Structure 1
Amino acid sequence: MSTSISLCTARCGVAFAILSSFAVLACSSDSSSTGPAPGSELLALPCTDALDSVYQGQTPPADWGPEMRGDVTQCAFERTISIEEMAAAFAVSDSFVDPGLSTPVYKYRIQYWTERNEGEPVLTSAALYIPETRRADPSPLVVLGHGSVGIADQCAPSLEDPSGFDKDNLPLVYTYVGDGWVAIMPDNPGLGTPGSTAWLFSVDEGHAILDATRAARKVFNDDALTAKNSLIGLSVGAHAVLSAQAAAAEYGLEGSLDSVVAMSPIWLSAGIWGALISSVGAALVDPTLMSVAMQFFVGHLAVYEGEDSRLDAFLPEKREQARELLEEACWSEITSAEQGPPSIGVNVGADLFLPAYVDEVGNCGLTDTCETELAQTWRARWVVDRPAPDTTIPIVHWTGGMDTFISPGFQKCGLDRLDAQGGVVTACVEPDSDHSGIVTKNADWVRQHLDQVLLGGDAPAPCETLDEYDAALECSLPIIPNSLDPDDP
């Protein structure tokens, strides 16, 4: 059944840019607005905080305990998103198709506590989407994992900053919320909120996803949401939902975990970021891969060794340039040849990284020869970032047949590992989709899948499996090993 939420009676017309190529009209949420925010009748919290407060620091609770995971500290209404605005997001690239939309959506921003290590609370911001017409009343919850955007604060997806918001994430969000599914997308700790964000750090990503199920239910009235949850992620966001799936039994969530959909996941050995900065990796690295390696090491050093150590892998004379590059721009700039690593004279690992990283950490990633203390330290960190799956929670894995970033051969490496570790995986392929476009081209199937697992509807027709698409496909990851052992990266 569906339910309609009355539109707000007071509207305004402030300009809000969702992408650099176009602007749309948005509702203001400042204190001058009159009347309740649309959708607020479903909420247990007033959600009248200022939008900027969602990204401000908070003092961690002195009596922190696991029961405080997902506690909401700030909540603000942002705007109503029209069907026309959502449809425009699919037109920015030929990779996408319009999946068909049926309802406007109310967007809120929230801030909540999640937990890194036991007893270590950290903040994350998130965008919460309430469709005007929901698929059911009460509604199940969809938690979305976003793709890569960069590591600067302005890159946080909930901000939709035109200089920072990557084009892939709006189509992911709008495909589902515009179809009536209540959804929340965490930015992840340190992306918008204080501190550094750690790209591809399984612990932060997975916990933020799981705690989103708690946070959403603390925002809504008790009778607004069912206990059912689905996790859907793209690229590094698919890594996040797979990390959440692996952690769910031990870390917990609010409600049940009924569906995990991983689209174009980066489920490769994190040792690749070491291998790419090695002398051998120099033959394969490009500006995008070098930028990603930089983001990986900066974020992981901040988490493991402290904020002041985040640049310690870099040559001293290059650290400030690297910091400015990564912390003052977002994905499209920091991965380009013109504004990315080559702009500061970084083309291969040795141009930026300390010799010990190029040789010891690089060769550890390349050959799994990890004899020094530094190499062993990073090997252990890489293991953490590809955890073994929960063997009781099914995974739907989607690959784009035209994906040139994480190709079908690369995806086969991750699938081999999931299968070897007992994962219950349905491996689907969308033959004419690239890395990003898959979020719209498989929309009919995934929506019907959600209807089945969350609302008790009919199952979708069987997808084309990766084995049917290419029966001879093998793991084809260059230069690094793909161990099936959970104790290896």
Structure 2
Amino acid sequence: MMPDTRGLSAVRKWGQRAPWWLVLLLGVACAVLGAVIVLQPFTSLSVLRLFIVIVLAVSGVADLASACRSRSARWTVAVGVLWLVTALVAAVFPGLTLRVLALVVGLALVAGGMARLVGAVRGRGDERAAHVLGALASVVFGCLALAWPDVTLLVVAVVFGARTFVFGCARIVEAVRAAHEGGRRENEGVGGGRGWLHGWPRTAAMAASLVVALALLALSAALHRASPSPTAFYTRPASVPATAGALLRSEPFTRAVPASAQAWKILYTTTRDDGVPAVASGIVLVSRSAPAGPRPVIAWAHGTTGVASSCAPSLLQKPFEAGALPALDQIVANGWVLVATDYTGLGTAGPHPYLVGQGEARSVLDAVRAARHLATVHLSDQTAVWGHSQGGHAALWTGQLQPTYASDVPLAGVAALAPASDLTGLVSNLNTVPGGSIFASYIVTAYSQTYPDVSFNRLIRPEAQAQVRGHASRCLAEPEVFVSVVSSLLADKPIFATDPATGASGARLRENTPTGQIQAPLLIAQGENDALVLPAVQQGFVQQACKRGDTIDYRTFPGRDHVGVVAPDSALIPLLVTWTQDRFAGKPAPDTCS
């Protein structure tokens, strides 16, 4: 149904009487607002929300003011009214969740674009081209806003910022022309004139908007396409042995494997934190020139890659770099067998036990058991556990759990590198770490999926829930994480509604802090510039472990941050290799506790 012609006539008469200075003021306001948003998009969610409301309202008024100057005036009115209604909704309901606001603004962009597209049919020459290009850009931008709800405000802000800047400049030109000509061509407008200045600048601007929209669309498609998906290999078989550590299937693995080594991907049985049977995947790697006979094992517990099933290192493009595995070449050179679990819930069906101690440790120990069933690899009983960050937490829990859960997998040593050893301390520190909300999202997602007494909705503010779910759906080592980084930069408030270190979540965090004694010798490495796992917190953990009677070689590394401590040029690497060689050789372990 076409808009009411009587209403349109009234708007047209008002527009014809609108003084040029009013159009100029609206144009300047739009141009300034648009420039501010485009030049400073990373301000805060609340400020961006306010800017969007203002821009929507000013754009709506400007559309109505210039409706009389367009051949497709009734559709310009319709779009102007749409912007005003959207601004009203966003202003009257400031508590709208990000997901709802994304829906409202995204649909408004799509609907506004479609209205302009229909209206372009009645336009002439330059006006029609500008409307078609602008309409298509609006539709594409609206679809992008709907596709990325946790960064919708950034997308919308930049989109509206650019659109509003161009729109404002067009209104300024229109007002200047009207003032210069004394109103003689008041009814022609920028898009309806005959000269180049009457139409082509706006057409070129709309063409540029469409190019940007299509480029972002291509980027969005590329980001989605780059994310891996679990294959049939990771699917749980119909019949699964009740015994943990059973090898279910294996196949050769070649991605990023050194030329001097060969590897296999494995699927095996394990158990979750609550003892429920589960399956997990992993990688087994060994030197091609390793001597015959049983070979010592490095059980690798990888660092944070994410909590979505697609974040398994065996699925990622760089499976060993993704979890920050150090000294891969040295592992191969020593003829050791690398057994690298993905943990449950990564690759296989979830949930993933992110910083859930027993679930991580069982995945590590059962991977070693399963690797023993590979016909092409001969493992000895000597096993050393290495782990970094989340994997350091897993390594500590593996050492703590091994005597009671897997006495058949004796440990020669446990190397925990920048381990998450104090979970309440870690969570309390995340608000001060750039991108800390990403790690917090992983913790909340894993704990709410693992423990029925930990409520996602009670822990996370309603406005942040879309952001947290977005973080949890992306892998830390894949290109899509850029979207999470952008979203975290926009956050002007913590994601938590309540302190996660209290209540049920706090109790679960303390429950999963490794406070039990570890019989195997320990190497704990800590970067002195680590902003994620604080050196003071690590020192406190080591002191308590010394009091429990653990044998600990505690080393700190000046100038090294959380990931830098395991970098190839870190002084830790030769120390780690030598320390492991000595453990396999049965030499007395150094103890810095005494």
CA pair 285-230 structure 1, distance change in 2 beyond 3 A? same
How many Å separate the matches in 1 of 2:417 and 2:251? Answer: 30
Shift of 1:244: 0.6
CA pair 329-232 structure 1, distance change in 2 beyond 3 A? closer
How many Å separate the matches in 2 of 1:466 and 1:119? Answer: 34
- Give ranges in structure 1 of 5+ residues lacking alignment: 1-19, 21-50, 86-103, 468-489
Does 2:496 align with 1:342? no
Partner letter of residue 313 of structure 1?
L
How many Å separate the matches in 1 of 2:415 and 2:308? Answer: 27
Map 1:414-433 → 2, pairs under 5 A: 414-433=541-560
Higher share in helix: 2
How many Å separate the matches in 1 of 2:462 and 2:370? Answer: 41
How many Å separate the matches in 1 of 2:292 and 2:384? Answer: 15
How many Å separate the matches in 1 of 2:271 and 2:323? Answer: 27
Higher share in strand: 1
Q: 1:189 aligns with which of 325, 344, 347?
A: 344
Look up the SS of the partner of 1:199 in the other structure: coil
CA pair 335-79 structure 1, distance change in 2 beyond 3 A? closer
Look up the SS of the partner of 1:397 in the other structure: strand
Q: Is the 8 A contact 2:435 2:485 kept in 1?
A: no
Q: What is the aligned-residue RMSD (CA, Å)?
A: 3.4
Partner letter of residue 394 of structure 2?
A
Q: 1:438 aligns with which of 522, 546, 565?
A: 565
Indicate the residue corresponding to 1:43 in structure 2.
none
How many Å separate the matches in 2 of 1:165 and 1:314? Answer: 33
Q: 1:182-230 CA distances to partner (integer Å, 9 max, x unpaired)?
A: 1111111101111231321111111111112211112246x92221111
Shift of 1:317: 5.7
Percent of pairs identical after alignment?
A: 23
Q: Is the 8 A contact 1:333 1:340 kept in 2?
A: no
Partner letter of residue 416 of structure 2?
A
Shift of 1:269: 3.3
How many Å separate the matches in 2 of 1:306 and 1:409? Answer: 31
Does 2:231 align with 1:52? yes
How many Å separate the matches in 2 of 1:347 and 1:334? Answer: 22
Q: 1:369-400 CA distances to partner (integer Å, 9 max, x unpaired)?
A: x5xxxx1x223311221132335322111122
Partner letter of residue 430 of structure 1?
F
Which protein shows a greater Rg?
Answer: 2
How many Å separate the matches in 1 of 2:367 and 2:438? Answer: 29
Partner letter of residue 204 of structure 1?
G
Map 1:200-239 → 2, pairs under 5 A: 200-220=355-375, 224-239=378-393
Q: 1:465-489 CA distances to partner (integer Å, 9 max, x unpaired)?
A: 699xxxxxxxxxxxxxxxxxxxxxx
Does 2:323 align with 1:323? no
How many Å separate the matches in 1 of 2:437 and 2:467? Answer: 14
Q: Is the 8 A contact 2:471 2:484 kept in 1?
A: no
Shift of 1:258: 0.9
Structure showing greater relative contact order (alpha-carbon pairs closer than 8 Å, 6 or more residues apart): 1
- Give ranges in structure 2 of 5+ residues lacking alignment: 1-221, 223-229
Does 2:561 align with 1:413? no
Look up the SS of the partner of 1:134 in the other structure: coil
How many Å separate the matches in 2 of 1:244 and 1:399? Answer: 19
How many Å separate the matches in 2 of 1:60 and 1:318? Answer: 41
Does 2:321 align with 1:156? no
CA pair 158-347 structure 1, distance change in 2 beyond 3 A? farther
Indicate the residue corresponding to 2:12 in structure 1.
none
CA pair 437-426 structure 1, distance change in 2 beyond 3 A? same
Map 1:198-347 → 2, pairs under 5 A: 198-220=353-375, 224-270=378-424, 272-273=426-427, 275=428, 284-305=431-452, 313-316=459-462, 318-331=464-477, 339-342=485-488, 346-347=491-492
Q: 1:117-150 CA distances to partner (integer Å, 9 max, x unpaired)?
A: 4540122111110211226732111101111112
Look up the SS of the partner of 2:542 in the other structure: helix
Shift of 1:431: 3.6
Shift of 1:331: 4.8
Q: Is the 8 A contact 1:144 1:184 kept in 2?
A: yes
Look up the SS of the partner of 2:424 in the other structure: coil
Indicate the residue corresponding to 2:584 in structure 1.
454
Indicate the residue corresponding to 1:477 in structure 2.
none
Q: Is the 8 A contact 1:142 1:181 kept in 2?
A: yes
How many Å separate the matches in 2 of 1:392 and 1:459? Answer: 14
Does 2:297 align with 1:141? yes
How many Å separate the matches in 2 of 1:347 and 1:333? Answer: 24
Shift of 1:76: 0.9
TM-score for both structures, normalised by structure 2: 0.54
How many Å separate the matches in 2 of 1:418 and 1:167? Answer: 29
Shift of 1:310: 5.6
Shift of 1:306: 9.7
How many Å separate the matches in 1 of 2:574 and 2:233? Answer: 34
Does 2:249 align with 1:74? yes
Look up the SS of the partner of 2:305 in the other structure: coil
